[in-house]
């Protein structure tokens, strides 16, 4: 897997979106609250530096030499 997530704005946006989605686990009630676990996905894309959606679309936000 070649890294395709690297721009600081991209990383910060993914972390914020992930944390907000994870917060839904505590904010919502009932079974719908578990939808917040989707927030793990954008956080993992930052950790690994690779996003399958960006790979399919051919987008790369890493710095190229």
* Mean pLDDT, rounded, for 9-26: 96
Helices marked H in 1-65 — which ranges? Answer: 8-27, 40-48, 52-57
Domain residue ranges in the chain: 8-57
pLDDT computed for residue 65 by the predictor: 55
Residue 10 has pLDDT above 90, yes or no: yes
| Distance separating alpha carbons of residues 36 and 22, to the nearest angstrom | 5
pLDDT computed for residue 38 by the predictor: 97
What pTM did the predictor assign?
Answer: 0.87
pLDDT band at 1 (very low <50, low <70, confident <90, very high): confident
Structure tokens belonging to residue 59: 């987008």
| Distance separating alpha carbons of residues 59 and 35, to the nearest angstrom | 27
Q: What is the pLDDT of residues 34-63, one digit of tens each?
A: 999 999 999 999 999 999 999 999 999 998
Q: What angle do CA 53, 14, 2 make, to 5 degrees?
A: 45
């Amino acid at each position: 897997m070649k890294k395709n997530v690297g721009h600081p704005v991209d990383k910060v946006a993914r972390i914020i979106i992930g944390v907000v989605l994870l917060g839904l686990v505590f904010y919502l009630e009932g079974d719908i609250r578990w939808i917040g676990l989707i927030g793990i996905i954008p956080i993992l894309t930052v950790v690994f530096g690779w996003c399958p959606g960006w790979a399919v679309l051919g987008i790369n936000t890493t710095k190229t030499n």
